[in-house]
Structure 1
Amino acid sequence: MQNNSKVPEKIGILIPQFPGQTHIFFWREILELQNLGVNVTLFSTRMPPAGLISHSWSDTAMRRTNYLVDMSVINAALALLRFPWSVLKEDLRREPREFLKDILLSLPAARRLARACKKEGITHVHAHSARRAATIAALAKVIWGVDYSLTLHGPMSDYGPGQGFKWRHARFGTVITRKLRGELREALGGDVPDQLYLQPMGVDTDELARNAPYQPPEAGEPLKLFSCGRLNMVKGHQDLMDAVKLLRDRGIDARLEIAGQDDDGGAGYYAVLAQKIKDLNLEDHVTLLGAIGADMVHQKLLDAHIFVLASWHEPLGVAYMEAMSCAVPTVGTDAGGVPELIEHGVNGILVAPKAPEILADTIENLATDGEKLKALSAAGRDTIVHGFSSHKGAETLIEGLKA
Structure 2
Amino acid sequence: MNISERVKKDCCGCSACMNSCPRDCIKMTPDKDGFLYPEVCEVLCVECNKCVKVCPVLNEDTPANKPKAYLVKNRNKELRKTSTSGGFFAAAAKYVLSEGGVVFGVGFDDNFNVRHSYIENIKDIKKFNRSKYVQSEVGHNYRKVKEFLRDGRKVLFSGTPCQVEALLNYLGEDPDDLYTMDIICKGVPSPKFWKKYLSWHKKKSGKDIREVRFREKTYGYGSTTMRVVYSDGTEYDEPYDVDPMLQFYSKEMISRPSCYDCKSKGKHRRSSFTAGDYWYVSGAAPRMDDGIGVSQVLVNNEKAAAAFEEIKKYLDVEPLDFDKDSAINGGMMVTSAKPNPRREEMYADLDNMSMGALQRKYFPATFKLKNRIKRKIRPVMYNMGLLKIYKKSMRKRQSTKSSKR
Which structure has greater strand proportion? 2
Fold shared, TM-score > 0.5 on shorter chain: no
Considering Cα pairs closer than 8 Å and 6+ residues apart, tell me whether 1 or 2 has the greater RCO: 2
Structure with bigger gyration radius: 1
Which structure has greater helix proportion? 1
Q: TM-score w.r.t. structure 2 length?
A: 0.28
Q: TM-score w.r.t. structure 1 length?
A: 0.28
